[in-house]
Chain A
Amino acid sequence: MIRFENVSVTYDGAAEPAVQGIDFTVPEGELVLLVGPSGTGKSTVLGSVSGLVPHFTGGTLRGRVTVAGRDTRTHKPRELADVVGTVGQDPLSHFVTDTVEDELAYGMESLGLAPDVMRRRVEETLDLLGLNELRNRPIATLSGGQQQRVAIGSVLTTHPKVLVLDEPTSALDPAAAEEVLAVLQRLVHDLGTTVLMAEHRLERVIHYADRIALLPSPGARPVLGTPAEVMAVSPVYPPVVDLGRLAGWSPLPLTIRDARRRASDLRARLTDVVAPATDGHSPQGNAVPHTEPPHTKPEIPAPRRFLRRRPAHPAPEPSTPHLAADVSALAVQRGPVKALRHVDLTVAPGETVALMGRNGAGKSTLLSALVGLVPPAHGSVRVGGTVPHRAAPRELVRRVGLVPQEPRDLLYADTVAAECAAADQDAGAAEGSCRALVSELLPGVGDDTHPRDLSEGQRLALALAVVLTARPPLLLLDEPTRGLDYAAKARLVTVLRALAAEGHALVLATHDVELAAEIAHRVVVLAEGEVVADGLTAEVVVASPSFAPQVTKVLAPQPWLTVSQVREALSS
């Protein structure tokens, strides 16, 4: 269905081709996953299928790409629109109209389908994707998962033979991601749609793939094979594969189920070792300097009423100023929406708290309230003894720093050096302190690089350095692993652990259960603007099927969270 014949793409002004030696065929009805570290040209390969590369992006494409027999050299993207459906990373930049129903019809209108056919297909697609309730809603009012489903639906209505998806789940919470992937699987199984998809979060998608095309490094030839074959050699792999490699299982398990069936001997070996993470310490074993009594028990099964009655945090006593953040009975109104209803949260210095919950649960709003971007409608927020929304910005940066979901928002200058100089000045720090942080977090980035030319992970590191220049005792991160590959994520985890060890309190809002398992001491689950669970990471994530990391699921009932824990336990 899709055929790459010795394809290489060189962008204008680039010395090296972005990808080369791409030579494989995707047969009809297969789901092929394109994996590899960032910057190896996954998006370029995807773009060449829809013809956007090179017709839209420029550059030179050598070799030949044919889709359903059409050569992309002679067919422009618009002439491939009836066979290829493309969904990008950001659904919002994909929408042309403003309501769900019109968006679903847009592609068919362009192709000139008869009105009664359009009507029928819109209804069918609404049902297939479970969007019927939302058909008249303006797209701007939908949640991230709903928008992603509309984006997929809008390309499905033209009945494309091929679906090309670039990180379809990176912005979604675990449940919404499952929802989108279930739809894809149904398309492949029931309708014979061919799917080519790139995704960083392999743990979510790998078990749906028929085959995997691996781009191991920039400019390298792709490795094609079954998931198990490719995972044995891949530089990127999900935790379950990591565990399988550690335990020496062959063939490698790709799903929780496969791994569990093999894991009985591993569980037996691990029972002799002290079970981790139940002693009130961090997953990594470095003790948290608690300023208050040990944290609460897992609250997931507890009804909400019980939570309200619970004295959520100690009464104001002399120890309060030592808290990095203290939120009590916080409610926040955003336009007509009650973003937060009733939130109690305390964060001690040196503690890492992961905020989890579905898209739109109020995680970002809570972070915004902690940094004073939104005033509380009710209740109070105190950060290091000040009230954030009243504090002057210059004063506030020394107490709390936020790395927003889009780190680019923080960067204004056109070189890294200028950005650092500005950060030193903003924070009133000694000259060169930001540059020192950048060198530490981002070795090998030149002074005159434009922040826009950095990769997603590098830009995050630069924004983190800018925020850390003021040495805030409380550091907030909103979705820090969005778009990061496993290597970048591992570097981030090292940096964040070091910060926590230095006594910085960290609060991160994330959908990434593996990240939470790696670094969080505590997990707070939000739903509809309220805290529904607050407890030690091990206790909260183990109790929840959607928030449990893969290792936990494999080794249950033993409370292991990460591969590194298991590795340490086995080596000791």
Chain B
Amino acid sequence: MAPRPRRDRPAVTAPRPARGRPAVHPGAWWLWALGLGTAATRTTNPILLALLVATSAYVVAARRTSAPWSRSYAAFVKLGLAVLTIRLLFAVVLGSPIPGTHTVLTLPEVPLPHWAQGIRLGGRVTAEGLLFALYDGLKLATLLICVGAANALANPARLLKSLPGALYETGVAVVVALTFAPHLIADVQRLRAARRLRGRPDRGLRGLLQVGLPVLEGALERSVALAAAMDARGFGRTADVPPAVRRTTTALTLGGLLGICAGTYGLLTAEGGVYGLPLLLAGSAAALAGLRLGGRRSPRTRYRPDVWNARAWLVAGSGITTAALLVVSAAYDPAALRPGVVPLTAPALPLLPAAAVLLGLLPAFVTPAPEESV
């Protein structure tokens, strides 16, 4: 590490991403996934929803790395299935407001006292009600799976690194909290296993409760150790900022937030249509300026920040376009995107929206394949 004479390098525009760095800005993946998710909220057509899930699954399978967070997609798929199941169960047990004629089965109805009017337990279960619940659940599950895709493709911690400097410390708190949970789970598993060494059953709820206290103690100790390590490595160093700048920062941030509140209120109430939008915009601008000035207090720099390049535009753009096209189609052709359940009809495949969904596959072709890391 001897200091070497160094010449200023010309700005290099590297077309190929460096080895091991994300090829695409994590924010782009999140925009893409949220675009697909938005598209999912615009339709209940099971074929379109299935197409959305398939699109996200294909891109994840093609472009995820071998990092630990990449495995979260499967977890989100399971979560989506659980949501779907719960939605169906509710429709069966609590009945459905959808009027239907095709009775699938009849559960014994539990008589409820009159103050619980409007709630039904058991009773007739109709095919229409079930189908409606299925469509509805599928929509929610698709949304969750899209979020899972974003999680699998972009490290959430890296996204937080793109926060403005003034929010950096909040970001670190979130990152530490995110890594806290996996450690806690590992601790619980280790301590439950250790119960076996004491001759106690290592399964069951009681075992879990008894290791609770040691696990929390261990977690607390680890947090304190981490805080010490971070402090010793310069976390939270502040730069000297002239008082004038400090006061301006406070004024801008507070004023901006007030402006945003007032502007939002104005937009939402009928009378405030005139001053609402300008106030909101001015407030946002002031708040952003405040954040930017606040960043001066922190002397931090960023190591190899992710760059927003043409690929990132394409990835984000494909998601946003899909969302926009489905929003437009939902306005023009609501029947195709929300197939009726009364009377029972088979959902058709609307060609234009389907093509729009397939646009979401674009990232699988425009981004480089992940390298096989060890």
Contacts of B228 in A (CB 8 A): 52, 56, 77
Q: Does B346 contact A (CB under 8 A)?
A: no
Q: Give the chain B neighbours of A398 by CB distance below 8 A.
A: 199
| B214: chain A residues within 8 A (beta carbon) | 408-409, 411-412
CB-based contact A121/B1 at 8 Å = yes
- Identify the closest chain B residue to A191 (Cβ): B1
Most buried by B among A51, A96, A466: A96
**How many pairs, one residue from A and one from B, have CB atoms within 8 Å of each other in the complex?**
171
Q: Are B304 and A135 in contact (CB under 8 A)?
A: no
Q: Which of A112, A138, A393, A426 contacts B300 (CB 8 A)?
A: A112
Is B164 an interface residue when CB atoms closer than 8 A count as contact?
A: no
Proximity string of chain A (90-128) to chain B, C-beta cutoff 8 Å, 1 when within and 0 when not: 100111111101100111111111111011111011001
Contact between A96 and B229 (Cβ–Cβ < 8 Å)? yes
Q: Which residues of A contact B78 (CB under 8 A)?
A: none
- Does residue B197 face the partner (Cβ distance < 8 Å to A)? yes
Cβ–Cβ contact A115 & B302, under 8 A: yes
Q: In the complex, A443 Cα to B31 Cα: how many Å?
A: 65
Which residue of chain B lies nearest to A190 when distances are taken between CB atoms in the complex?
A: B2
Q: Does A257 contact B (CB under 8 A)?
A: no
Task: Give residues 178-208 of B contacting A (CB, 8 Å).
Answer: 179, 190-191, 193-202
How many A residues touch B, CB cutoff 8 Å? 83
Contacts of B211 in A (CB 8 A): 412
Across the interface, B237 reaches (CB within 8 A) one of A101, A111, A114, A404, namely A111
Q: Is the CB of B200 within 8 A of A90?
A: no
Chain B hits for A121, CB < 8 A: 1
Min CB distance B298 to A, Å, is 8
Mark contacts of B224-235 with chain A using CB atoms, 8 A cut-off: 1 yes-contact digit, 0 otherwise. Answer: 011111111111
A182: CB under 8 A from chain B?
no
**B226 touching A96, Cβ below 8 Å:** yes
Chain A residues, Cβ within 8 Å of B232: 50-52, 77-78, 80-81, 84, 86
Residues facing B in A190-207 (CB within 8 A) are 190-191
Please give me the residue from chain A that is nearest to B299 by CB atom.
A112
Mask: chain B, 282-300; 1 = CB below 8 Å from A; 0 = not: 0000000000000000011
Q: Which of A267-301 contact B (CB under 8 A)?
A: none
> Which residue on chain A has the smallest CB distance to residue B1?
A124
The 8 A CB mask of B1-40 against A (1 = contact, 0 = none) is: 1101010010000000001100000000000000000000
Report if B301 contacts A (CB, 8 A).
yes
Most A-side CB within 10 Å, residue of B6, B195, B230, B239:
B230
A140 to B67 CA separation, bound complex (whole angstroms): 11
Stretch at the interface among A3-11, A154-162, A481-489, A509-517: A154-162
Are B225 and A109 touching (Cβ within 8 A)? no
Listed residue (B194, B195, B214, B239) with the most chain A CB atoms within 10 angstroms of its CB: B194
Q: With a CB–CB cut-off of 8 A, which chain A residues contact B270? A: none
Does B373 lie at the interface of the complex (its beta carbon under 8 Å from any beta carbon of A)?
yes
CA distance A393 to B157 in the complex (A): 41
Quote the shortest CB–CB distance from A450 to chain B (angstroms).
11
The answer to whether B237 and A78 have CB atoms under 8 Å apart is yes
Q: Which of B155, B176, B200, B225 contacts A393 (CB 8 A)?
A: B200
Chain B residues within an 8 Å CB radius of A111: 234, 237, 299
* B199 contacts A394, C-beta separation under 8 Å: yes
A402 contacts the other chain (CB 8 A): yes
Whether the Cβ atoms of A78 and B229 lie closer than 8 Å is no
A56, A82, A128: the one contacting B231 at CB < 8 Å is A56
Please determine whether B197 and A81 come into contact, CB atoms closer than 8 angstroms: no
Report if A226 contacts B (CB, 8 A). Answer: no
Q: Does B273 contact A (CB under 8 A)?
A: no
Q: Is A76 an interface residue (CB 8 A)?
A: yes
Chain B residues in 8 Å Cβ range of A81: 232-234, 237
Which chain B residues numbered 327 to 374 have a C-beta less than 8 Å away from chain A?
A: 373-374
Q: Are B234 and A373 in contact (CB under 8 A)?
A: no
* Chain B: minimal CB distance from A508 (Å): 15
Bits for B47-60, please: 1 = Cβ < 8 Å to A, else 0: 00000000000000
Q: A96-B229, A122-B303 in contact; A78/B236 too (CB < 8 A)?
A: yes
Of B20, B172, B196, B200, the most chain A CB neighbours within 10 A belong to B196
Nearest-CB residue, chain A, relative to B301: A112
Interface 1/0 per residue, A326-339 and B, CB below 8 Å = 00000000000000
- Asked, given contacts A119-B303, A135-B20, A426-B199, whether A409 binds B194 with beta carbons under 8 Å apart, the answer is yes
Contact A78/B235 with A93-B225, A393-B201 known, Cβ cut-off 8 Å? yes
Which residue on chain A has the smallest CB distance to residue B161?
A: A102
8 residue pairs bridging A and B, Cβ less than 8 Å apart: A78-B234, A81-B234, A109-B302, A110-B233, A124-B1, A190-B2, A373-B193, A412-B210
Q: Which residues of B contact A (CB under 8 A)?
A: 1-2, 4, 6, 9, 19-20, 67-68, 155, 157, 172, 175-176, 179, 190-191, 193-202, 210-211, 213-214, 217, 222, 225-237, 239, 299-305, 373-374
The 4 A-B pairs with the shortest beta carbon distances in the complex, nearest first, are A136-B20, A81-B234, A112-B299, A110-B234
Inter-chain pairs besides A78-B235, A138-B68, A426-B198, 16 sampled, C-beta below 8 Å: A50-B232, A77-B232, A78-B233, A78-B236, A78-B237, A86-B229, A90-B225, A112-B300, A115-B301, A115-B305, A136-B373, A371-B196, A373-B197, A397-B198, A409-B191, A422-B198
